[in-house]
């Protein structure tokens, strides 16, 4: 593999990635909640106007995901990043964050039991993913 034994903090690559992702997060959160601010602009077609509670839950999940992503990038990932990889994942992750918000943020259905179960699964999965080493140590040892 190309990155074996290539440890590098890749500060500039990770900074570009983090900056673009935080910009995408802010724009997406703004589109989730700026119904009136976008009503007469070119952004009108991108505004997300579904159920308010659903949009709040989506924003909550996006913020959690952003924080987990930053911990992964800055704390856990020690290998070298190439510029091609940086640009590719920056574009991909920016699209994923907006697509996730767009798919749910335009849904006008009232939040119910299915969404509550989904939030519990999301939080459980986030915990397991973030603390997998600790959980494994408890299970094995």
Residue 36 reports pLDDT greater than 60: yes
Euclidean distance between CA atoms 32 and 35, whole angstroms: 8
Each residue of 100-134: pLDDT tens digit?
Answer: 999 888 889 999 999 999 999 999 998 888 777 66
**pTM for this predicted structure:** 0.81
pLDDT of residue 140: 75
When pLDDT is averaged across residues 66-93 and rounded to a whole number, the result is 91
Is residue 55 a contact partner of residue 48, using CB atoms and an 8 Å limit?
yes
Residue 5 reports pLDDT greater than 60: no
pLDDT of residue 136: 64
For the chain, domain boundaries = 11-110
3-class secondary structure for the chain? CCCCCCECCCHHHHHHHHHHHHHHHHHHHHHHHCCCCCCCCHHHHHCCCCCHHHHHHHHHHHHHHHHHHHHHHHHHCCECCCHHHHHHHHHHHHHHHHHHHHHHHCCCCCCCHHHHHHHHHHHHHHHHHHCHHHHHHHHHC
Closest CA to 14 of 92, 95, 69: 69
pLDDT top residue among 53 and 132: 53
């Amino acid at each position: 593999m190309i990155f074996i034994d290539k440890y590098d903090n890749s500060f500039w690559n990770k900074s570009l990635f983090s900056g673009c992702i935080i910009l995408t997060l802010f724009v997406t959160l703004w589109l989730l909640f700026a119904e009136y601010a976008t009503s007469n602009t070119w952004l009108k077609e991108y505004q997300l106007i579904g159920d308010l509670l659903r949009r709040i839950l989506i924003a909550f999940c996006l913020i959690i995901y952003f924080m987990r992503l930053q911990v992964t990038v800055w704390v856990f990932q020690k290998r070298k990043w190439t510029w091609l990889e940086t640009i590719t994942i920056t574009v991909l992750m920016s699209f994923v964050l907006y697509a996730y918000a767009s798919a749910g943020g335009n849904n006008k259905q009232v939040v119910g039991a299915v969404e509550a179960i989904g939030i519990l699964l999301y939080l459980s999965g986030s915990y397991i993913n973030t603390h997998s080493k600790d959980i494994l140590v408890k299970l094995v040892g």
